[in-house]
A and B are shown apart, each in its own frame.
Chain A
Amino acid sequence: MSAMMQPQIILLKEGTDTSQGKAQLISNINACVAVVDAIRTTLGPRGMDKLVHDDKGTTTISNDGATIMRLLEIVHPAAKTLVDIARSQDSEVGDGTTTVVLLAGEFLREAKPFIEDGVHPQLIIRAFRTAAHLAVLKTKELAISIEGKDREDRNQLLQKCAATTLNSKLIGGEKEFFSKMVVDAVSMLDEDVRLSMIGVKKVQGGTMRDSFLVQGVAFKKTFSYAGFEQQPKNFEDAKILLLNLELELKSEKENAEVRLTDPAQYQSIVDAEWNIIYDKLDKCVKSGAKVVLSRLAIGDLATQYFADRDIFCAGRVAEDDLQRVASATGAQVQTTVNNLVPEVLGFCQHFEERQVGSERFNIFTGCTQAKTATIVLRGGAEQFIAEAERSLHDAIMIVRRAIKNQAVVPGGGAIDMEVSRHLRNYARGIAGKAQLFINAYAKALEVIPRQLCDNAGFDATDVLNKLRQKHSLPSGEGAHYGVDIDTGGITDTYEAFVWEPSVVKVNAFNAATEAACLVLSVDETIRNPRSSQPGDDGMAGMQMPGRGRGGGMRGRGRGMRRR
């Protein structure tokens, strides 16, 4: 009441929305939980897909947490952190994006009652951090190294990891087929696995099983000029020349002008131009190459010239395809045709143009230094192939991770249960409030097996109780028990080869805890009405016209929030 007498101090701009205190914190938590609810059904092998349809009319059907979160276009500032952790998990390990979001949401949900009861958020944060640290240590301890096996064995193990990832995806029915393909593709690369060296080409039509792996490079036939069909389409032991220049009749200099005073000289200019291009073509032919690829156009003249000399050529090859050809065949991309020494040519044992679906593909196999692979994906619908590509990307990332960091943990919620048990044990030894919080953290971890059961339509409570019993056996033999998705019971998931690289879990625990702590540590949001709109990326532009009238409404609605 005393404020009434004092002159009012205007601190913030008119219309600025500030919310603070406990209520704000709880509101943030609720928002995060609401977002998590949107993706919780996608977890696990019985997880469902989401169809997201944007206003441009493009449709995405996906099971990948990061993809869905991105497409949901979340604008709530607190909930946005969840999108970010999903994305970071995606770029860091490539898989487990749903898990990480789910965990973060569950941590918050567990923390909510404490906040409501008036516990200081910082206490919870500190306890959660400790718990996360312990969880990571425990995960590392439980991890089983797959190092030191020979190549054959190792590939088997890697396939198991890839299969676990693919299990939950649309292509799960063919997981053996694809996991083998992924492992083969990754093991073709050298130690430093660069993702760009695995090309994924999508061709509509056919079934998933028609997808194939090319131990080399494959790309779609490029635009061709008349004369192309007369070129041979099949070579054994072909030499390959890669160019980055136009093979076309053109003016050599953009701004040059020729002035003739004598019409008789006219022919000489014409001839000179022709000679330039013929000279270039001749040098290409002389180099001995049988396949000429260029990033820039190869004109009709050149096409016919090559056709006459039984050489295959393709112009306008995409940059990344050209790079892959270069690294596969050992060729160097040339920007001039002068000095085409044999060293710059690439070599492949077999080259052919083949029909794939309704497209024709150029396929290079048997390359000398095949440090690259191409997966040609087939499928019934565009969205289907797009989702298959995302799934394969996940699997490739997982295999890559597993090669670098050769330790795996049992999946199917087994590791989460074990860590949870460990934390509960640890919590008992603490005096003070932290005991409660660590217990809450431990309880939150159980969300993974619970959600797996829920999605599969099993009785989650029943399964969880069985799991808890197994994991608490003093002998420790139950540590590998997780949800058995086929029967609705529990099983030793390590024995059942449901494996995940440990780094996925470690990263998930860390990222989820970080995100939860971040949300917990915020007790005030200040939203500036004008700058928030362009600043809140994604919200700008699109939002404005649609909200024109509603904007006032919303402004008022929010006004109530100010106290």
Chain B
Amino acid sequence: MSLAFDEYGRPFIIIKEQEQKKRVKGLEAQKANIMAGKSVARILRTSLGPKGMDKMLQSPDGDVTITNDGATILEQMEVENQIGKLMVDLSRSQDFEIGDGTTGVVVTAGALLEQAESLLDRGIHPIRVADGYELASKIAVEQLEKISTKFPLDKDNLEPLIQTCMTTLSSKIVGRCKRTLAEIAVKAVVAVADLERRDVNLDLIKLEGKVGGRLEDTELIDGIIVDKDFSHPQMPKQLEDVKIAILTCPFEPPKPKTKHKVDIDSVEKFETLRQAEKQYFDDMVQKCKDAGATLVICQWGFDDEANHLLMHRNLPAVRWVGGVELELIAIATGGRIVPRFQDLTPDKLGKAGLVRERAFGTTKDRMLSIEKCANSRAVTIFVRGGNKMVIEETKRSIHDALCVARNLIRDNGIVYGGGSAEIACSLAVEAAADKVPGVEQYAMRAFADALDAVPLALAENSGLQPIDTLTAVKAAQVKEGIPHLGIDCNDVGTNDMKKQNVFETLIGKKEQILLATQVVKMILKIDDVITPSTYE
């Protein structure tokens, strides 16, 4: 921090630890900030689109992540720079809100910053640039609304939903079986969706993965998979038409919470106590039996005596099932969670068509799957894959697809992908810019140029001539007046995204443009950065 001196040449100590703080002011600060933002965006640029590349990230403790998902990359990079962190936040909030398009939003923001830099060089006031961007973003969003189409949301015809999810998945590592995965995702979302309120609680979809098998073996289970096995190895491995007792109490004599002590002063008393304990076990099993349960799922453990007894009385049981899973099982099977044995009644039992233990290949791992449930309001997507990294990436990809499907249920507007929406917006903003008096005009033109960054990156990543391709498509859009011409990334032979069935959600796109503008505005408004220089 620069020191101030008075007339007598004495320095002021105005601010705490003045000499240890770094301070960047004015245009210099803006330039430095833009630089930081741009370099973050540059990293993600190559990940965009169906031909985008993946990044491999190694965490300090040696875990390796391979991903194509913008939010994940940025989060794992552990960006230190303050402005870089803003970009990370940006992609994270796109992830929170929409779940998809996390790369696109950062690329757009980076392009906006790049354009702003040249405007600042011309001496345009940063706030005027920000104002211009804001105006332009409004026009872009209007244009998006205009070119969007609605499709009827119909439980029987899920094709449009599946197509949109496929667009999301096509850029991921799992692109080759995108059809299967998209179908799984859509079915899962529709199963848990509350179509009347247009509300989807993604907590009800469980993503479970297991190394081994092929990606194609990934399946949707109308029920729950838990990473547990039956408590006794001799219990049957497969049960049909199961009635499940879901317990949150341990299989052991109940303990009062109040501090207690039993005084045993004679042999008889000891005997009675032992008898009583035994009686408890007996009663508990009996109560489950009486209620008609054929399977017991217990949140807590039970000791060997109980285990033996259960085995003996032919009542399969699972122990140590976590609270969340327990809840999902209850929802899926339509059962009630029972807090003590006395409350167990037949109508509180959950029903499932099939419960079986799955063994995988030659490994000893077993999982318990509860399938064909009475009420499939809770489902599981069971992911298989060659290694842990693939499974993790598949889970992330499916999460993206789930979010897309959820957004479509919330708002069924779609726009066409392949950069076509961006090009259409860019054209609209360009046209509107000419009508705006003042410096903002320049900012709006810059905004239009920045919007081209997404199709440019798409073309570049697909190995096409970026500028040639973009200009060709742009010219075609203007000439033919159809807004769904985009970059032909997969070399199908047509630029018509409608024919290629490349869709994206309208709210996702809108959010991308608005969020990017917002963050860029924030960065442009900063003219003073004060940091403790020891903080590196």
Residues of A whose CB lies within 8 Å of any CB of B are 23, 26-27, 30-31, 34-35, 38, 41, 45-46, 48-55, 57, 59, 61, 63, 72-76, 79, 170, 173, 204-210, 225-230, 234, 249-253, 255-264, 266-267, 269-270, 272-274, 300-301, 304-305, 307-308, 354-355, 357-358, 360, 378-384, 387, 456-457, 486, 538-539, 542-543, 546-547, 550, 554, 557, 560-561
Contacts and interface: CB of A to CB of B under 8 A. Distances in A.
B462 to A, nearest CB: 29
Interface in B234-264: 248, 253-264
A561 B522 CA distance: 43
17 contacts: A27-B8, A48-B526, A49-B525, A59-B85, A76-B12, A226-B323, A255-B259, A263-B269, A264-B276, A354-B199, A357-B97, A380-B93, A381-B93, A387-B522, A538-B16, A543-B17, A554-B13
A434 to B, nearest CB: 26
Interface stretch (B40-48, B217-225, B332-340, B366-374): B332-340
B347 to A, nearest CB: 10
A368 B137 CA distance: 40
Contact of A382 (B89, B204, B511): B89
B227 interface: no
A381 B86 contact: yes
A34 B262 contact: no
B196 to A, nearest CB: 10
Contacts of B256: 251, 258, 269-270, 272-273
A48 B127 contact: yes
- In this complex, the member of B11, B16, B272 whose beta carbon has the largest number of chain A beta carbons within 10 angstroms is B16
B96 A358 contact: yes
A50 B337 contact: no
A209 B254 CA distance: 54
Given A27-B10, A61-B526, A266 B327 contact: no
B12 A205 contact: no
Interface stretch (B420-428, B480-488, B512-520): B512-520
Given A227-B337, A539-B16, A381 B90 contact: yes
A560 B530 CA distance: 30
Contacts of B89: 204, 380-384
Nearest to A270: B254
B393 to A, nearest CB: 20
A54 B532 contact: yes
B4 to A, nearest CB: 4
A381 B16 CA distance: 28
A378 B126 CA distance: 24
A227 B247 CA distance: 11
B290 interface: no
A170 B522 contact: yes
> Which 6 pairs from chain A and chain B are nearest by CB?
A205-B96, A381-B89, A48-B527, A205-B97, A358-B96, A205-B93
Contacts of A378: 97
A52 B255 CA distance: 55
B515 A300 contact: no
A379 B10 contact: no
B178 interface: no
B95 to A, nearest CB: 8
Contacts of B15: 72-76
Given A249-B257, A300-B323, 15 more contacts: A34-B14, A76-B12, A79-B14, A205-B92, A206-B96, A206-B515, A226-B248, A259-B263, A270-B256, A305-B339, A355-B201, A358-B97, A384-B86, A457-B125, A486-B438
Interface string B11-44: 1111111011000000001000100000000000
A41 to B, nearest CB: 6
A50 B16 contact: no
Contacts of A228: 327
A468 to B, nearest CB: 25
A68 to B, nearest CB: 9
B25 to A, nearest CB: 9
Given A52-B530, A546-B20, A456 B327 contact: no
Contacts of A554: 13
Contacts of B519: 380-381, 384
B330 A257 contact: no
Nearest to B127: A46
Contacts of B340: 274
Nearest to A208: B518
Nearest to A204: B93
Given A48-B525, A204-B92, A357-B96, A308 B336 contact: yes
- In this complex, the member of B6, B134, B204, B263 whose beta carbon has the largest number of chain A beta carbons within 10 angstroms is B6
B331 interface: yes
B535 A57 contact: yes
B273 interface: yes
A48 B93 contact: no
A30 B4 contact: yes
B276 to A, nearest CB: 5
Contact of B327 (A52, A229, A259): A229
B125 to A, nearest CB: 4
B48 to A, nearest CB: 19
A45 B127 CA distance: 9
Contacts of A273: 256-258
B36 to A, nearest CB: 11
Interface of B: 4, 6-8, 10-17, 19-20, 29, 33, 82, 85-86, 89-90, 92-97, 125-128, 130-131, 134, 197, 199-201, 203-204, 248, 253-265, 269, 272-273, 276, 299, 323-324, 326-328, 330-331, 336-340, 438, 511, 514-515, 518-519, 521-522, 525-532, 534-535
Contacts of B522: 49, 61, 170, 380-381, 383-384, 387
A260 B255 CA distance: 13
A257 B93 contact: no
A357 B4 CA distance: 47
Contacts of A61: 522, 525-526
A456 B125 contact: yes
A38 B337 CA distance: 61
A41 B82 CA distance: 21
Contacts of B264: 263
A230 B336 CA distance: 8
B355 to A, nearest CB: 19
Contacts of A76: 12-15
Contacts of A53: 82, 529-532, 535
Nearest to A174: B134
Contacts of A72: 15, 530
Contacts of A304: 248, 336-339
Given A57-B535, A76-B14, A49 B259 contact: no
Contacts of A258: 256, 258-261
Contacts of B323: 225-226, 300
A256 B259 contact: yes
Contacts of B82: 51, 53, 59
A387 B8 CA distance: 40
B511 A250 contact: no
B528 A50 contact: yes
A173 B86 contact: no
A11 B17 CA distance: 30
Contacts of A52: 530
B257 A41 contact: no
A267 B255 CA distance: 9
- In this complex, the member of A79, A204, A206 whose beta carbon has the largest number of chain B beta carbons within 10 angstroms is A206
Given A76-B12, A554-B13, A51 B94 contact: no
Nearest to B248: A300
A206 B97 contact: yes
A55 B535 contact: yes
Contacts of B126: 48
Contacts of B438: 486
Given A75-B14, A258-B261, A380-B89, A206 B511 contact: yes
B304 to A, nearest CB: 22
Contacts of A260: 260-263
A173 B131 contact: yes
- In this complex, the member of A41, A50, A63, A387 whose beta carbon has the largest number of chain B beta carbons within 10 angstroms is A50
